[in-house]
Amino acid sequence: MRPQSEEELSGIVAEASGPLHVRGGGTRGIGRPVTGDVVETGGLSGITLYEPGALTLVAGAGTPLAEIEATLAAEGQRLAFEPMDHRGLLGTTGEPTLGGMAAANVSGPRRVVAGACRDFMLGVRFVDGTGAVVKNGGRVMKNVTGYDLVKLMAGSWGTLGVLTELSLKVLPVPETQGTLILKGLTDEAAVAAMARALGSPFEVTGAAHLPAAGETCLRLEGFADSVTYRLERLAALFPGTDMHRETEAEPVAACWRAIRDVAAFHDAPGDVWQLSVKPSDAPGLVARMGAEDVVYDWGGGLIRARLAPGTDLRARLGAFGGHATLVRGDAATRAALPVFQPETAPVAALSRGLRARFDPKGILNPGLMA
């Protein structure tokens, strides 16, 4: 089913008695496998408002992300949280949509400084599990009117409601960017170097470590003179380290696109796990993982790990602070292992309670986040 309006979608959900498999472009097939009638949001497409001077954009949830990004680029603006494109990593095809991005709370390397997708979401409209149309937030930058259901919808994977419209805060594209690449650091040294860089006043907007390539990448953005100045100041923090300064636009962009999309794992086999942890814990966790390969982003706060199919990563790690999510794995593995980090009993009770209220029939992507 591919409703062409919010009203039509509302009718479909209200009348449904069995499970619905809700999706945007279907490019981010993460979570426990869902069976049910497919409901695609692609028909709810189009930018309804864009005010560059107010840094605000409103569009239908089914609007292709590519269309959003092109429209913003024409005005010298962008989605500052740098949403990842999952197609390469997951081997999916199709068009990523705005709603899919929001439902998965997808961010990229800049998240560590600029904030996540959820931090740039100003307002939502959605259809809940009873078919009721609900709006929350709005299209202004600051809004504390009532509860923040916008955050709740971000990353809820269509299990609480089907997004129909989103308003977003956008930001200007800086004049230029550059990367300082430190070479040959151990994981411990790299995480320490990234902490040093992110703790400096030089406004690092990306900090990633690629052990296989032996590279630790630190990104700077801004006006050209400023980037040049900060690149030197940043380099001076790491005396005696082998390093390279990349300031050509295309290689810098390609480097961060590859980090964003975890290009290192695209053609490599195995399951992919994503861990959100305290950055300084990251090297120790990686040492316990037995991974084929890892990529550190967010200064170490985000680990992508490639492991043999079917590996129960959580069993290998034991208790740790943070979350591990199985991002890529076959259906059997995703059915056998909890895809999302199991919640503590009181938190699980709250999540269950919210689902029961938002989707009393239990029909919206049932089990996806279980």
Residues 144-183 that bind another protein (CB under 8 A): 144-152, 154-156, 160, 171-175
Do the Cβ atoms of 267 and 89 come closer than 8 Å?
A: no
Q: Does 132 bind another protein (CB under 8 A)?
A: yes
- The nearest distance, CB 347 to another protein, in angstroms, is 6
Alpha-carbon Rg for the chain in angstroms = 21
- The nearest distance, CB 134 to another protein, in angstroms, is 5
Do the Cβ atoms of 161 and 45 come closer than 8 Å?
A: no
**Residues between 230 and 289 that touch another protein (CB under 8 A):** 230, 276-280
- The nearest distance, CB 127 to another protein, in angstroms, is 10
Q: Which is nearer to another protein, 95 or 256 (CB)?
A: 256
Q: Which is nearer to another protein, 147 or 213 (CB)?
A: 147
One residue of 76, 184, 290, 310 binding another protein per CB under 8 A: 76
Cβ count within 10 A of residue 358: 21
Do the Cβ atoms of 46 and 63 come closer than 8 Å?
A: yes
- Length of the chain, please? 370
- The nearest distance, CB 201 to another protein, in angstroms, is 5
Q: Does 119 bind another protein (CB under 8 A)?
A: yes
Q: Which stretch binds another protein (CB under 8 A): 240-248, 263-271, 287-295, 348-356?
A: 348-356
- The nearest distance, CB 67 to another protein, in angstroms, is 21
Q: Does 11 bind another protein (CB under 8 A)?
A: no
**Residues between 89 and 108 that touch another protein (CB under 8 A):** 105, 107
Task: Classify residue 350 by burial, with Cβ atoms within 10 Å: 0-12, 13-18, 19+.
Answer: exposed
Q: Does 8 bind another protein (CB under 8 A)?
A: no
Distance (Å, rounded) from C-alpha 262 to C-alpha 85?
Answer: 9
CA distances from 214 to 185, 208, 210, 295, 334 (A): 7, 11, 6, 11, 32
Q: Which stretch binds another protein (CB under 8 A): 32-40, 64-72, 222-230, 260-268?
A: 222-230
Alpha helices of the chain — where are they, by DSSP H?
6-15, 65-74, 87-90, 98-103, 111-114, 117-120, 149-153, 187-198, 224-235, 249-260, 282-289, 313-317, 331-336, 345-358
- The nearest distance, CB 338 to another protein, in angstroms, is 10
Q: Does 200 bind another protein (CB under 8 A)?
A: yes
Biggest distance spanned by C-alpha atoms of the chain: 67
Q: Which stretch binds another protein (CB under 8 A): 94-102, 178-186, 241-249, 351-359?
A: 351-359
**Residues between 24 and 63 that touch another protein (CB under 8 A):** 51-56
**Residues between 301 and 330 that touch another protein (CB under 8 A):** 301-302, 321-323, 325
Distance (Å, rounded) from C-alpha 60 to C-alpha 167?
Answer: 9
Q: Does 115 bind another protein (CB under 8 A)?
A: yes
Q: Which is nearer to another protein, 181 or 229 (CB)?
A: 229
Do the Cβ atoms of 362 and 32 come closer than 8 Å?
A: no
User: How many residues in the shown chain lie near another protein by CB under 8 A?
Assistant: 85
Q: Which stretch binds another protein (CB under 8 A): 95-103, 194-202, 234-242, 328-336?
A: 194-202
One residue of 213, 249, 268, 350 binding another protein per CB under 8 A: 350
Q: Does 143 bind another protein (CB under 8 A)?
A: yes
- The nearest distance, CB 267 to another protein, in angstroms, is 26
Do the Cβ atoms of 89 and 266 come closer than 8 Å?
A: yes
One residue of 183, 244, 288, 357 binding another protein per CB under 8 A: 357
- Assigned token pair, 100: 């899919």
Task: Classify residue 137 by burial, with Cβ atoms within 10 Å: 0-12, 13-18, 19+.
Answer: buried
Q: Which helix (H) or strand (E) holds 168?
A: strand 161-169
- Assigned token pair, 6: 């919010």
One residue of 38, 70, 347, 362 binding another protein per CB under 8 A: 347
